[in-house]
Structure 1
Amino acid sequence: MDKSEKSKGVKIKINGEEKIFVGENKRESTEEIPEAASKEQPDDSFEWILPDDSVENKVVLVPTPPKKKMPKLIGFNTHTGKRPGNRSLKTFVIAVFCAILFGSVLGLIAVNTITKEKATDSPVETAITTTASPVVKNDSGGEKGQGMGLKTFLVQGGIFSSEDAAKQIQEKIVEKQVPAEIFKMEDSYYLFLGSAESLISSKELALFLKTYDVEVFWKEIDLKASGISAEEEKTLDVMKGIYSSLSEISSGELRGKETKWDAETLKKDMDKLKDEKLSSELSQMNTHLAAAAKLISEYETSKKDEQLLEAQGKLLKFLKDFQSMGS
């Protein structure tokens, strides 16, 4: 075997070019190797393939961009780096403060709303106060007492400083088929449109009359008849009972409410007044009550609200005459 066959080499492929290293630290190119070397057995050498240094195989390191710092948020779960005990206490205090603030705001809103509703719905109660008349003797020798009162619940259509102003509004209301009577109380003139048996009933009657496009309020009124005799007082007691029954019946029918009243007692009281000898003032008041009772009776057949409204007007006239007694 010749020298070329005995020598062994290492074949390396660098950047696609084959190079053979022979012996110790000796390198020969493939061009100088005799043709016989190429016939050596493949087991005597091995191939190293190194990566290509071309641009395709290069690893480019891209610097990682700096992380943006998130702004700190103030809230219940914000971490402050303090001990857990302090964080829990701070969260609890903030929650309590927010709850108190929220509750206070809601409370103020509720109070303002309720106050406005009360200012709109609350009736104004007016008591008629008149100077008590001293006991005097009338022409027939009878004594006149201190007077008597009548509490009633009315629908009000306005308050005026002059009677002329009240009359102008009265005419407009009457044109709408709604009764209206002017009452003088102290230095003002009140316009009343109806009567009922209680404050709640007067409110319901006011809402009904409002459908006629009139301005309405409701209130309790204390009327007083002064300078009447003991006999007249007894008669007025009977009249007051009749008035209360007729007011409840007529206002109840207008409001669509069922009313309880004693028809037999009402008829008996009215018959009693017919048999008595009444003064001109009491006779006129009795006429108003009888007219109202007749209109209510006719309504039972016709079912027309106009008759009930007219009956309410007669009852207002009765109250006006009651107030003017002894004046």
Structure 2
Amino acid sequence: MSRNNKISISLRKKEDPISQEIVQAKKEQAASTNAKDSYDYWGESTQMHVHEMPHKGKKPSSPSFMKNIGLSIATALVISLALGFLLLRMFVSVTDEASPTSGAANADMKAVQSTPSATVPVDFPGLDKLIVQAGVFSSEAKANEWKADLTEQSLPSVIWERESQYYLLAGSGANQAEVELIAAELSAGDIPTYIKTWSVSAGNVEVSEAQSSVVNTIIQHLEGKSLADVPVKERKQLLKTWQETEHADGNFTNAIKKWANEGENGIVWLMFAKALEQMKK
């Protein structure tokens, strides 16, 4: 055997597997400690990344969006208050400017309301005429019931209240012959009649200046019993003049309308006379 062909026999024992595991564990522990100290340690894929922030002894500040919201609210409040103040100043200014005018207008209105319409007295003499009475009743309802019956028979009538009695007057005439003709017509319909003189005492009425000419004209025709002689055209003109005046009496208006429409003259006389008595002062 030559020298070059030496046989080496190692006396080192094969390392124990347990010792190798211990050494490996120490190495991993050391590596882990170094990694944590660098604040960039990542564990297994199932572990969370832990990033520790240094504490300087101060509380963390509010998020920036909360600051923005607070600033927006404060700005809106300031703007609202400013606008409200400006609007208040404008309203007070306008009110102050309008007050004198409004005051003057109110004063003028009160002056107009407190000043009564100018009226003039119109005197009329005592009036009387023969009439046909179809009944006298203690209640207006009963008188209206009888009046309705006459109307159904095309017989006009007037209810005239005096001393709590309701007289149903069915016509009037210039003389005895006229009223007897009316009475006969009513009797033919089984309506009881009574002929008598109906009187209206003298007096005066207060009317406007525009109305006075119409009232005076009517009074003249009542006194002269000449309502039937007035042309229809003139009657309608009197009606128009009367209606154009303010505060025209309702009963007097109804009488003129009836007259202008060629109503029965005996009934029209009663309607005018009744209106004058009710308007009398």
The TM-score, its normalising length taken from structure 1, stands at 0.40
Q: Quick check: which has more Rg, 1 or 2?
A: 2
Which one has a larger percent helix, Structure 1 or Structure 2? 2
Highest relative contact order (Cα 8 Å, sep 6+), 1 or 2? Answer: 2
The TM-score, its normalising length taken from structure 2, stands at 0.45
